[in-house]
Amino acid sequence: MIKKRVAIITGAASGIGFSTAEALARDGVKVVMADVNAEKLKSAAEEIGGIYLTADLSKRESCRDLVDFTLEHYAKVDILINVAGLQNVCPVEEFPEDKWDFMISLMLTAPFLLTRYCWPSMKENGWGRVINLNSIHGLVASEFKSAYVSAKHGLTGFTKAAALEGGPYGITVNSICPAYVKTPLVEGQIADQAKHHGITEEEVVRNIMLAKASIKEMLAPETIAEVVKFLCSDVASSITGIALPIDGGWTAN
């Protein structure tokens, strides 16, 4: 049962993060939502009855503040869902060094820090769930995404290492590796590529974004939220250390 558990969800103002927070709240979980977009985060939290903290998780102190905020309100953390992230398409030779640092900080260092800060509470209570929203790019690579692929591959490795340490204390650590999910961020990318290539948005999805997948359909954020709920459940108590593809057959190639 996950009812009355306490969950931190990052990147929770929209997309996968919001859908996950909404699904957990609907099942009676007390959700703590974090995002850098203050206006959207406030609205999202009010919509589902969660509490929230505006935070730039690329900064170490913000990660600490988020966990402290949760402990102050609920005295424990049971579930940590690391969703916050972004993509940047750029050749290696042109990739800005500061952008590299920012992406690694947000998508690899922040999940580590948040896990580290939540760990004592989970360990003390003998129960915990850490779920890292990964990507197929945590399993395979694509050109022009060096920072993103590096962060996601690192997240896969961190997930496995933390899972080995958490098992004796009832803590599972898993990652979910979807292909493209229909979020506001991705919808913007589709529109930009359609304009750039002079093709329809449907052609962008089928022939560019999902070219390597056998099922040419974008994923819904709600689908990812349901998988998160499953991994948080008691049924999944022996599932740990996995990088679960939800990719329409992309990584079967």
Q: How many residues does the chain have?
A: 253
- The pTM is what? 0.96
Instruction: Please check whether residues 235 and 145 belong to one and the same domain.
Output: yes
Give pLDDT tens digits for 164-180: 999 999 999 999 999 99
Instruction: Please check whether residues 55 and 156 belong to one and the same domain.
Output: yes
Instruction: Please check whether residues 229 and 115 belong to one and the same domain.
Output: yes
pLDDT at 1 over 80: no
pLDDT at 113 over 90: yes
Average pLDDT over residues 180-201: 89
Give CA angle at 86 (81, 87), nearest 5°. 135
Domain of 202, in residue numbers: 182-218
Contact 246, 227 (CB under 8 A): yes
Question: Is 46 a member of any domain?
Answer: yes
pLDDT at 88 over 90: no
Total domain count, the chain: 2
Catalytic residue among 52, 148, 169, 180: 148
Q: How far apart are CA 209 and CA 177, in angstroms?
A: 15
pLDDT of residue 192: 86
Residue 74 known to be catalytic: no
* Token digits of residue 80: 């940590």
Question: Is 1 a member of any domain?
Answer: no
Instruction: Please check whether residues 214 and 225 belong to one and the same domain.
Output: no
Distance of CA 103 to the CA centre of its chain: 14
Instruction: Please check whether residues 101 and 194 belong to one and the same domain.
Output: no
| Distances from the Cα of 181 to the Cα of 58, 178, 212, angstroms | 23, 7, 15
Instruction: Please check whether residues 44 and 162 belong to one and the same domain.
Output: yes
Instruction: Please check whether residues 125 and 187 belong to one and the same domain.
Output: no
Instruction: Please check whether residues 94 and 154 belong to one and the same domain.
Output: yes
Instruction: Please check whether residues 224 and 214 belong to one and the same domain.
Output: no
Contact 207, 140 (CB under 8 A): no
